Structure formats: C-alpha cells, structure tokens
Structure 1
C-alpha cells in the first residue's frame, strides 16, 4: 500500500527537501505541495492524501488552523512541522487534530519513520516527551474541561487503557503493566478511540487529561 502525502511549508527548500526524501521511499508518494495553509487545505480536499505535513507558521492560514479546518471533514492524518520546540505548539497541534509534531531539523530516517507511524495511527511523541509536554501545558492552562461523563462510555478496563495511553505508554508497555497480550491491548485501544470519537492515540492523550482522568502533576 502506498502512503499518499501532502506537504505544506512556505519555505520552498523545506518542501522540496521533504518531498525528495519521502518520494524516494518505495511505499510513499507526495501527491501535493502547498506554500500556505489555505492552499494546503485545498490540496488535501482535492487529493485526499493519507498524511499531510503542515508547517505551524505559514502565511494566509497557519498549520494549526489548517488542521482544525481539515479535522472534521478529512481522514487525513496531520503532522505539524515547526522550528520551535515549545509546549504550546505541541498542545495546540494535538488539540487541532494533529497526529504528531516534528521539528524541521528531523533526521531523514526519523521523518520517514514518523510518516509510517502516523499512517498506522500511532502518536508521534515519545512517552517521556508526552508526559512532560502535556502535563506542563495542562497544568497552566485554564478554560473549560471536557465532560467527564464521556468516560461512562468506557468499560473499567478501557478506562485503564486510556489512563495508560495518556501517560504515554506504548502497547507493549501497557500489556506488561496490565499483564495481558499486545493483541488484547490493541483490541481495547481500537474500542476506546471510536467510543470517545478520537482519531488516534495522540487525541487519546489529550482526552485523558481534559476529562480529568489524569490530574496534571499527580504521580502513579
């Protein structure tokens, strides 16, 4: 199966460099490029790629706004690109519907891996990074919290799964923690996401915090 990709960045060298790397992969094809967020939205609507790489800072419409515009109408998974390693960008990117967050100086192999990971529905934040970024941002953020009642849609085991997803654990780590098989964990994750209308594991991290299932700063 070929992974179809769109790339949006106002820097032509970045776009062309990423396109060259990804097009060279036997299982990938860059189907569209754009120089601003509005053009990116149009390109995704036209070409329906599997993955869209969106620069966080673009003219006309930034990457986060573009992700929000596409979230409700497209199955395309979004990876946000930036030169700024700042917590707010990560949090807002995930809230906008992104499946992950990468710095533009990402190594070639890591870029290719990130596209494959996003296509598979995994989150693009290492567990330690997930815990630090989300915990720090949510602790200092004010505003409405997601309705905790949505957790009633989950079984007791599924709540455990969501809790561990929110802490950034991989399927293998969750399996060890709960003493179950990797396949069992995958089955539970596949059940949790649609029950809470979540697109992927990155969104599950946000949901775990915003519903209060995980209290920022709490241990255990």
Structure 2
C-alpha cells in the first residue's frame, strides 16, 4: 500500500529534488505540494497524508508555528528539511515533536533513510544536524512537546486565546501549561518566561 507524503517548501528546486528521490521508493508517493504554509492544515485535514516534509522557513509564516499545530492537533509525523544552519531551530523542532531533522545539503540517501525511519515510527536526525546539536549546551529545563509549542507561540506574541484556538485546547489548559513552565523555569510572572527560557537554552 502506498504511503502518501505532503511536501511543503517554497523552493521549486527542492521540491523537484524530493519528487525525484521519492520515485526511488516503491512504497511512497508525494500526494501534494505547497510552496507556502497557507492551506497546509486544510490539506492535512482533508487528505490525511502519512508523512509530511516541511521547511521551517516559509514566505508566509514561521514553519515552527505550523509544526506545533501539525504535531499537537493532528499527530502528523513531520520531517524537517531545512537549509538553515541554526541548531536552535533544530532543537526546538525536535522538542515540539518533529520526528526528524535533515539539512538540504545532506546526501540524498540520508533523506531517503529519514523518510523510511519516520514511517517506521522512529526519530531520525542526520549526522550533520547531530554534530551541530552536540555543540549546543544542553537545556537546563525539560519541556513536554505541548509546552514547547506553547512557548514558541508565546515567543512570537500569540495570546493565550490564540494559542488555545491554534492547538484546539481549552484556555485553562493553556494556562495550566504556562503555570508549569513558570514552575520549571523558577519565575513567578508570565512576563519573565521568555527571558528565563532563553537563559535555560530553550529559545
């Protein structure tokens, strides 16, 4: 049975390369492509792809914001395929529940391995990404994927109401997780969360 992939990347060359790679895999097919974030959630809700390949930098939105909703609400297995070199993005994507992170300049065999590993339910991080992550200090605080998603939304200025809407959860649930983050970070005010998170290596 074919496994269907939704590909979201704003670079035509990247999408063409992914199409070519996937033709090497008998069990996989790219069912749809998008070059912007708008429309991704509708595609997922309507067609339920088995896996998504997502760039974290899209022209119309932050791919990490999209990742948070895809993982938390739709339980979508997501492979981050990025041309960025900031390991903080890699680490944050993994904390939010991305199932894999590879770079666009990784060998094609690595991207194929990542697709197959994620489809088996595994987490896959390429060697180049692992090396960059190894150079980072370990975060001093451990957040759940949902807390990491909420922290991301707070960092881009979303309100509790907006976060609740995007994650399809009740506002008291958002407040509970924010209170848990305050406790873990050792602060007594929501205004101090972002600075404390940066100091703890979470942002």
The bucket for the TM-score relative to the shorter chain is: 0.5 to 0.7
Task: Report SS of the residue matched to 1:15.
Answer: helix
| Contiguous gaps of at least 5 residues in structure 1 | 148-209, 211-215
Task: Report SS of the residue matched to 1:138.
Answer: coil
CA distance in 1, matches of 2:110, 2:7: 16
Q: Which residue is equivalent to 1:13? A: 13
CA distance in 2, matches of 1:107, 1:126: 10
Deviation string, structure 1 residues 72-123 (Cα, Å, up to 9, x no partner): 2223200111112321011111122211111012222221111000111111
CA distance in 2, matches of 1:46, 1:137: 40
Q: Which residue is equivalent to 1:56? A: 56
Q: Which residue is equivalent to 2:98? A: 98
Relative to structure 1, the CA distance from residue 16 to residue 45 in structure 2 (aligned partners, 3 Å threshold; closer, same or farther) is: farther
Task: List aligned pairs for 1:166-177, cutoff 5 A.
Answer: none
CA distance in 2, matches of 1:128, 1:25: 23
Task: Report SS of the residue matched to 1:84.
Answer: coil
CA distance in 2, matches of 1:134, 1:46: 39
Q: Which residue is equivalent to 1:156? A: none
C-alpha contact 2:101 2:126 (8 A) present in aligned 1? no
TM-score (norm 2): 0.62
Q: Which residue is equivalent to 1:25? A: 25
Deviation string, structure 1 residues 34-89 (Cα, Å, up to 9, x no partner): 11122333222222111101011002222211111111222320011111232101
Give the aligned length: 146
C-alpha contact 1:10 1:34 (8 A) present in aligned 2? yes
Deviation string, structure 1 residues 184-219 (Cα, Å, up to 9, x no partner): xxxxxxxxxxxxxxxxxxxxxxxxxx9xxxxx9xxx
CA distance in 2, matches of 1:99, 1:52: 10
| Contiguous gaps of at least 5 residues in structure 2 | 145-183, 185-199
Q: Which residue is equivalent to 1:79? A: 79
Q: Which residue is equivalent to 1:124? A: 124
CA distance in 1, matches of 2:128, 2:35: 33
CA distance in 2, matches of 1:118, 1:50: 10
Q: Which residue is equivalent to 1:152? A: none
Over 6 Å off, 4+ runs: none
Task: Report SS of the residue matched to 2:52.
Answer: strand
C-alpha contact 1:3 1:29 (8 A) present in aligned 2? yes
Q: Which residue is equivalent to 2:165? A: none
Q: Which residue is equivalent to 2:68? A: 68
CA distance in 1, matches of 2:14, 2:32: 14
